[in-house]
A and B are shown apart, each in its own frame.
Chain A
Amino acid sequence: MYHSVVFALLYFSLTSAQVDSESTVNAVSHVQLSPEPKSLYVRSCQMDQMDPMDPMDPMDPMDPMDPFPCPRPSSLDPNGRSMDVVDETLEHDPRRCHELLINFSQSSSNLVCCAGGAARPVRLCEGCYKYYRVFSTNNTGCEMSILQSDQLQVVFHIASFLQDLWFRAKCQGTALCLFNLYFNPSLKTRSVKVNLFSHGGNSTVCTNCSDQYGNLSNLYTRLEKNLSLCMDLQDAMNITRREWSKTFGCTVPIRDTIPVILVSLFLCFLPAIFYLSSFLHTKQKTRRLIMRESYSRVSTCLVMSRASNAMSRHIVHAVSLEACWRLSCM
């Protein structure tokens, strides 16, 4: 049975300048994912580097190779009711607000649809950016009528859920992600390839691709340190790593057990020697005692004998006096 494993090697090929600290990432980026396993094309790693980058307009979100196509806006809701019925309670230019509501529901459902498709492996930021852009286009003027006229606040909750999802995937803002690289013309895009290997080439994968894997791993570590990376990249890298070390078994750490045990035995033996030798060779610290003047004992005896005399308890007297003398003569 042909069970193909998709080995997604995100390969950031570096230009001469390499990656320096903050913003100038001279790397990256176009991902080709074939939707059907049958059309996998297997290449050797060496060939990838020579591939010219895909010329495309980075500003066009609606690229023809939309990996997660979602239904186009339609003017019918699932029940077939025409959405053109205007809610008369929407004050303040009701028609426009109603339009906004329709737009919102469509764009959010598109975004949800896309996000679901892009869940595993995570391609949320990259695949659904265009829907998010449509979804998040700000329209003002209808807050009162749409957001604040009931307790349920459907629109608010849908919007905040989607926004939260988007933020948690770090698709927003300064995080480095594939679409950032599309839309930021200041970054020179180079090439990132998705290499698809069949399971068959196990032994060759480790030898052929170890350089690339090493480079990729280093690059990722460096990027991770300086920039925040979006979930797409993190997930791709996680999958890559897992495939690399688990499926292909390419990472083989060298265990060093016997030297480690010997060295640690030696190190743990040192304190024993130390304590033994300091026990044997150091002179024990002694304290010189100061004898209290014995007067207090004598005076105690006097006091006690006086007291017992007064009470004429002679036996007690004798006993305590004897005890006194014994103590004071110590």
Chain B
Amino acid sequence: MSNVLKKISWSSRDHNAHAGERSPLLPARPQGSPEAVEDDPEVTSQDDKIQNVHPPSSPKEIPHTENLLSLKYESLDYDNCENQLFLEEERKIGPRGFRVVEISRWFICLLIGILTALIACIIDIIIEKFADLKYLVLKDKIDAFTLNGGLSVSLVIWATMNAGIVMLGSILVAFVEPVAAGSGVPQIKCYLNGVKIPHVVRLKTLLVKVLGVIFSVSGGLAVGKEGPMIHSGAVIAAGVSQGRSTTLKRDFKIFEHFRRDTEKRDFVAAGAAAGVSAAFGAPVGGVLFSLEEGASFWNQYLTWRIFFASVISTFTLNFVLSGYHSQFGQLANPGLINFGRFEDKNEAYTWFEIPLFLIIGAIGGISGALFNSINYWLTMFRIRYIHRPLLQVLEAMLVAVVTATISFLMIYFSDDCQPLGEDNVVEYPLQLFCKDGEYNSMATTFFNTPEKSVRSLFHDPPGSYNPTTVGLFCLSYFLLACWTYGLSVSSGIFIPSLLLGAAWGRLIGILLSNISNANWADPGKYALIGAAAQLGGVVRMTLSLTVIIMEATGNVSYGLPIMLVLMTAKWVGDFFIEGLYDIHIKLQSVPFLDWEPPATSHSHIASSDVMSHPVVCFQRIEKVGHVVDLLSDATCNHNGFPVVDEQDGGGSDHFGKLRGIILRSQIIVLLKHKAFIERGKYGMLGYRLTLKDFRDAYPRFPPIQSIHVSQEERECTMDLTPFMNPAPYSIPQDASLNRIFRLFRALGLRHLVVCNSENHVVGLVTRKDLARYRWSEHGLEELLLAQA
């Protein structure tokens, strides 16, 4: 252990755990009904038991930090449990059945593509209508107040409107479904990594997300609707593939074969890809996004199916939106955000601009790192102090008010007037103090949805903006966007980053063309490069982002500069701080496994350091009372239990010979169906348990407390042999952390049994045991476990 250089320290003050003191520990969200508990081992009502087990001084309380792992999160079961039931079913289905299953996989992907695109269309159209209404009303008000005096009133009206709209969205998120906050990309990233984030792929989450994003975008916050599309796609995929909705309590009795984590994860990957594809009109980018973010358990033949879902999604969106914009069948709207075409001669780049692009990439990296570190401190503050839903709503409203105020001040004090012409079609031209027939050019960027502002920064002809306007806009928007991300509203970070980058990129373009007086420095081109650099500096995605931007611009020759820019931005940014998504994952205390095991994990740490030691094991024939007691014990929050040989009762340093492994969820199903030996072979139901019984309970297995076991039943015994996985993965005691990590990551394991030379169970490695070790600049750190 001496190689663990730094142990995370906490404040030494001990809270003597009074009930009143612990109140903030309870989740801020009201607890759901018992059946809503998603096989969650932590039951808050059992706190007193914890107290009994630990001496009063033992449960230390520390302020929330990023160096924690929360018990709230569990692994997904990506490993097929090859028990007898599974083998029986496989024999029963036969080759023809598997063909049907394969076809239904494709059919589900088709559905995922179509539904994701339709959701995207709904969001887009409603936001457009909403924004239209809002800006027209505001424009009328401002015009009237400009003529007659009293502009401060219009400021108040604007601020109130924004705050009201944002309040609706924020109430939904804070009170109904907190997991719908933010872009959802970190959550999906975790899901694809193998962590089950509670509630993340539920129908309720989808509804809150869709409504939330509509409200937050039309409320004028510095947010986009693209990130939430990725999450929405994932939820749709998870829902469609199950053929039922647990929230609505409807079971369509279809796709029952896919009711397990392995299958669901594949579909969620397809859904995320479809979401990216609908958001940016980038089908290949979508596939690569899923590959990059969920690359841990990728199988190659899945790629083609995911690409299918992706392409279907962008086509459907294109078809529907084109029809809506009265160009039926023209297919001119491939994505929610449309960068417009970069095909002009001026917009092509020349070789000597490449060094300039690299410099822009470096600036993007620095700016992104600054963004991330400010957001990091802000998020930390929010987690520690603003954790009550009411405060969260209030904060979101205040941000909306300040956003409106800053926008108004920018417009008010800008004297950048541009003539209304045919060249630049301005949707809501605001005259304010400009001469008749002119409009305030600051207003085009603030008085619009962010997507349209991005497009006008890319494509407005040179000279549409003056440098001071753009510079001021950058500064204010940087602070606003940074402040906004992490609020309890549904909000994407893609569009704000793109807009910010486009603004400073355009500024560089304008300055360049002023200095060099050359016509190669087209501001629109530099706006695009700046946008890529800023986005790359914030989210640090590489391959997928390059392809997404390339596809969104529709110009393959931009591939090289965009790739170089993103690369530079990532390298420069990584020098300072990680990407925004990783920061948020860490702040959520998620046991996330990186691509690579921490460096120096080969020689120093062996599996006996990593593993959890006292392993709760079951015999193959086990007494029901014993099982129930163990499962109800609050300290025993494990989900996997090695099954050991009964002859070999366990010695001082081991727990008996390994025979198999059984999951908590399986035992619960067994208890629920009273599959006890004494009740005869067929249990109480009169038929043999099949895999279907397990699938029906998936994914919300009831907690052990909801299962009633009578006193006589406690004396019964149950045979775990047919239900356990008889061939669990195991690893010798002396294996290095590195080896365990790779095995875990490659196979997507949930439990790995550590055995000694006689195949005796000595320990159990889970995701949290591995995720504890984190490599940082100080060396290898060990994280602490914290309660949910």
Contacts and interface: CB of A to CB of B under 8 A. Distances in A.
A5 B434 CA distance: 22
Given A264-B405, A288-B59, A300-B609, A254 B152 contact: no
A160 interface: no
Given A263-B156, A267-B159, A289 B384 contact: no
Nearest to B150: A256
29 contacts: A241-B435, A246-B435, A254-B148, A255-B151, A256-B145, A260-B151, A260-B408, A260-B409, A263-B152, A268-B406, A270-B398, A271-B399, A271-B402, A278-B391, A282-B387, A283-B24, A284-B384, A285-B387, A287-B786, A288-B22, A289-B61, A290-B784, A290-B786, A291-B59, A291-B60, A296-B612, A296-B613, A324-B1, A330-B7
A299 B653 contact: yes
Contacts of A285: 24, 63-64, 383-385, 387
A286 B15 contact: yes
Nearest to B404: A267
Interface centre among B17, B149, B391, B436 (most CB of A within 10 A): B436
B613 A295 contact: yes
A288 B433 contact: no
Given A287-B61, A303-B733, 17 more contacts: A241-B435, A254-B146, A256-B145, A278-B386, A278-B391, A286-B25, A286-B64, A287-B25, A288-B786, A291-B54, A291-B60, A292-B785, A295-B613, A296-B611, A296-B612, A324-B1, A324-B2
A231 B167 CA distance: 45
Interface centre among B22, B147, B148 (most CB of A within 10 A): B147
Contacts of A41: none
B395 A293 contact: no
B432 A267 contact: no
A182 interface: no
Interface residues of A, number: 50
A7 interface: no
B53 to A, nearest CB: 10
Contact of B1 (A237, A264, A327): A327
A245 interface: yes
A279 interface: yes
B152 A295 contact: no
B411 to A, nearest CB: 11
List 6 tightest A-B contacts by C-beta distance, closest first: A241-B437, A241-B436, A259-B152, A254-B149, A287-B786, A245-B436
Contacts of B10: 289
Nearest to B11: A286
Contacts of B609: 296, 300
Contacts of A263: 152, 155-156, 405
A254 to B, nearest CB: 4
A297 B7 CA distance: 14
B433 A256 contact: no
B104 to A, nearest CB: 43
Interface string B390-413: 010011001101100110110010
B197 interface: no
A289 B785 contact: yes
A149 interface: no
Given A289-B62, A289-B784, A238 B437 contact: yes
A324 B408 CA distance: 63
Contacts of B409: 260, 264
Nearest to B7: A330
A5 B419 CA distance: 21
B60 A289 contact: yes
Interface of A is mostly: helix
B435 A245 contact: yes
Contact of B432 (A245, A253, A262, A271): A253
Contacts of B514: none
A2 interface: no
Nearest to B68: A287
A286 B64 CA distance: 5
Interface in A275-324: 275, 278-279, 282-293, 295-297, 299-300, 303, 320, 323-324
B614 A295 contact: yes
Given A244-B436, A296-B608, A284 B614 contact: no
Nearest to B54: A291
B672 interface: no
Contacts of B424: none
A32 interface: no
B152 A299 contact: no
Interface in B22-64: 22, 24-25, 54, 58-64
Interface residues of B, number: 73
B477 to A, nearest CB: 16
Nearest to A238: B437
B121 interface: no
Interface of A: 217, 234, 237-238, 241-242, 244-246, 251, 253-256, 259-260, 262-264, 267-268, 270-271, 274-275, 278-279, 282-293, 295-297, 299-300, 303, 320, 323-324, 327, 330
A296 B608 CA distance: 7
Interface centre among A234, A267, A275 (most CB of B within 10 A): A267
Contacts of B70: 287
B638 interface: no
A64 to B, nearest CB: 33
A133 B61 CA distance: 87
Given A253-B147, A256-B151, A296-B608, A289 B786 contact: yes
B519 interface: no
Contacts of B394: 274
A282 B1 contact: no
Contact of A282 (B148, B388, B401): B388
A268 B24 CA distance: 30
Contacts of B512: none
Interface in B65-98: 68, 70-71
Contacts of A246: 435
Interface in B597-632: 606, 608-609, 611-614
Nearest to B395: A274
Interface centre among A275, A282, A296 (most CB of B within 10 A): A296
Interface string B360-398: 000000000000000000000101111110010011001
B420 interface: yes
B468 interface: no
B787 interface: yes
B401 A260 contact: no
Contacts of B388: 282
B149 A256 contact: yes
B398 to A, nearest CB: 5
B239 to A, nearest CB: 32
A297 B405 contact: no
Contacts of A262: 152
A94 B9 CA distance: 100
A324 B4 CA distance: 11
Given A264-B409, A303-B606, A327-B1, A291 B613 contact: no
Contacts of A244: 436
